[in-house]
Amino acid sequence: MKIQHFTATQPEAVPEAPGVSIRWVITDKDGAPSFAMRVFDVQPGAASPYHQHPWEHEVFILEGKGAVRSETGDTPVEAGYAVLVKPGEMHQFVNTGEGLLRFICLIPHPQP
């Protein structure tokens, strides 16, 4: 069992996304068998990359105001929104507010 406040994990910069940091809160190194939990902080005016990949995201917005950008447009989100990004879907998380946008994002471990 691992029990730890998420701020005990140091944030790392995301090189391709200025103003975005990631905390790897639960990983395979902790003994998680199949998926990892990260916490993202997106500064005002910043955004995650607009991209796609062959694995899913399961996201829960903790604080702030943002938009989820996809091929069908922007959807506003705030605390309490859950987002499933399916494999292969273009997506981006944009901070549209004046404060921090913070969300949890879970991904499966890389397949061997």
Mark the segment that binds a second copy (CB under 8 A) among 11-19, 42-50, 72-80. Answer: 72-80
Binds a second copy (CB under 8 A): choice among 2, 16, 110, 112? 2
Contact between 24 and a second copy per CB under 8 A: no
As a whole number of angstroms, the distance between CA 80 and CA 24 comes to 21
Contact between 52 and a second copy per CB under 8 A: no
Which of residues 19 and 81 has its CB atom nearest to a second copy in the complex? 81
For residue 43, give the nearest of 74, 66, 72 by alpha carbon. Answer: 66
For residue 35, give the nearest of 45, 23, 25 by alpha carbon. Answer: 25
